[in-house]
Amino acid sequence: MPVKKKTVPVKRPAAGKSVTRIRKAVVKKTTIKKPPAKKKITEPADTTPKRHRASHIRSAVDRLNDPPSAPLPALLKRVSSAIERELTQIEIIICGTHVHLRHRTEAERRARTLASLARTLREVMLLRDREEKSREDDDTVPRDLDELRRQLAQRLDELVADAKAAHPGEAE
């Protein structure tokens, strides 16, 4: 009996173009699709919370990270030195015989800054005066009320005794 040959089919492309088409088709099939974009859920305009707080009023939370206020003498020194710097710059600009338009606008800007610094200096001086006045008016608060009552009673007794000594014949 004759031996039958077994033929095995070989997989090879028929032409170069068909291979690229097949590869492109395979690539297209294996690409991952992006998930659909999530839609934003918007609330109706009337349900959003409204702030009735004025923008210039700061809460304690807003002021939490503020630096501590500078003592008044240091603040006075800083404002005074800033005023001196601005005056010096204005003098430098104006000292020439002919002032260019650019220098004139610079001088005007510095003059406005100087006016603002002068107002600031005036306010700082008022604060310092108020602080000194409050120190003068500040009496120590008594820690013991009974002791305060005894001292007041003693003073009143002394006043009554002085009044009797000054006017011995008059009744109280």
Global confidence as pTM: 0.38
pLDDT of the residue at 159: 93
For residue 3, the model assigns a pLDDT of 67
Question: What is the band of 171 on the pLDDT scale with cuts at 50, 70, 90?
Answer: low
Provide the pLDDT for residue 154: 95
CA angle 61, 52, 47 (to 5 degrees): 105
Nearest CA-CA partner of 83 in 120, 51, 48, 52:
120
Sequence-separated (6 or more) residues with CB below 8 Å from residue 79: 117, 120, 121, 124
**Measured over all CA atoms, what is the biggest interatomic distance in the chain, rounded to whole angstroms?**
170
Confidence of residue 38 (pLDDT cuts 50, 70, 90): low
Per-residue pLDDT, averaged over 62-91, amounts to 84
Do the beta carbons of residue 155 and residue 120 sit within 8 Å?
Answer: no
Model confidence at 140, in pLDDT bands (50, 70, 90)? low
How far apart are the two ends of the chain, measured CA to CA in Å? Answer: 162
pLDDT tens string 9-36? 767 666 555 555 555 555 455 556 666 6
Would you call 104 helix, strand, or coil by DSSP? helix
